[in-house]
Amino acid sequence: MPTSRRSPTPLKRRAAARPVTGTLDQTVYDALFDAVMQGRLRPGERLGEEALCAQFGVSRTVVRQALRRLAEAQVVEIVPNKGATVAAPTPQETREVFVARRAIEAAIVRLVAARITHGEVQRLHERLAAEHAALHEGDHARWVMLAGGFHLALAQLAGNRVLQRMLTELMTRCSLIVALYEAPGEAACEHDEHQRLVDLLALREADAAAALMDQHLGALEARLALPV
């Protein structure tokens, strides 16, 4: 799954663009989560409480609650007496994440192949058309969102909420991993492979779809510049 390379933008402005729902710490959580997933906050970047309070106009209590929840989601790391930073997965954690993704996404595509409808195939093709357009128009941020969302869309079609929840957590880790280790100039998620996956799912070729997903994820991992 790819991540954005855009330069940082003020977090408060990003938060203001989102409808304010729920508690104040949810608003802070959502804005920080989006900033990490879109690459506007980089792995290892410090998240100072005082600065966040000023940006969002909230108390330290609110900021700390949001940071605790992000830490539970493994998006942020909190070190006593040092504060919070955006999580930076190690090479070993990266390898473990990809082992887990291979297992989970193979199970997902097998479930999808067994139950997918004509209408769902059509909606996947519509997603791919939007993904292709974003790629060729140079809209990297939208392509990032669509290419990553393709995997989550398959998880939703599988009809297994446990697998969907597990993949969502792994995709979050992968966004950090790609931001940290992606080699310059590499495209982290190949559009053509997504197209072939949909074609196989439409034919209910479960084994072939699972094999292609494994190949797809293996290629993504191979493109990362992991230290030996």
Q: Residues 79-88: pLDDT tens digits? A: 988 899 999 9
Which residues, including other chains, have CB under 8 Å from residue 46's CB and lie 6 or more apart? Answer: 83, 84, 85
pLDDT tens-digit series, residues 32-81 = 988 887 778 889 999 999 999 999 999 999 999 999 999 998 999 999 88
pLDDT tens-digit series, residues 98-121 = 999 999 999 999 999 999 999 999
Q: How many helices (H) and strands (E) does the chain have?
A: 10, 3
At 172 the pLDDT is 87
Residue 15: pLDDT above 50? no
CA distance 29 to 52: 11
Neighbours of 202 (CB within 10 A): 17
Mean per-residue pLDDT for 167-171?
92
Mean per-residue pLDDT for 155-176?
94
For residues 153-185, b (16+ Cβ closer than 10 Å) or e, as one string? bbbbbbebeebbebbeebbbbbbbbbbbbbeee
At 185 the pLDDT is 58
Mean per-residue pLDDT for 11-15?
43
Structure-token pair, residue 148:
């990553």
Query: Counting beta carbons within 10 angstroms of the beta carbon of residue 22, is it exposed (0 to 12), middle (13 to 18) or buried (19 or more)?
Result: exposed
Domains of the chain plus CATH, in order, are 11-86 (1.10.10.10), 91-222 (1.20.120.530)
Structure-token pair, residue 216:
């797809």
* Cross-strand bridge partners of residue 47: 84
Residue 204 binned pLDDT confidence (cut-offs 50, 70, 90): very high
Neighbours of 90 (CB within 10 A): 12
Residue 8 binned pLDDT confidence (cut-offs 50, 70, 90): very low
Percentage with pLDDT > 70 across the chain: 87
Neighbours of 100 (CB within 10 A): 15
Residue 89 binned pLDDT confidence (cut-offs 50, 70, 90): very high
Contact of 172 with 73, CB cutoff 8 Å? yes
Q: Decide the pairing of beta strands 76-79 and 46-47.
A: unpaired
Residue 21 binned pLDDT confidence (cut-offs 50, 70, 90): very low
Which residues, including other chains, have CB under 8 Å from residue 168's CB and lie 6 or more apart? Answer: 152, 155
pLDDT tens-digit series, residues 173-200 = 998 998 888 876 555 566 689 999 999 9
The rounded mean pLDDT for the chain is 87
φ/ψ (deg, to 5) at 88: -130, 90
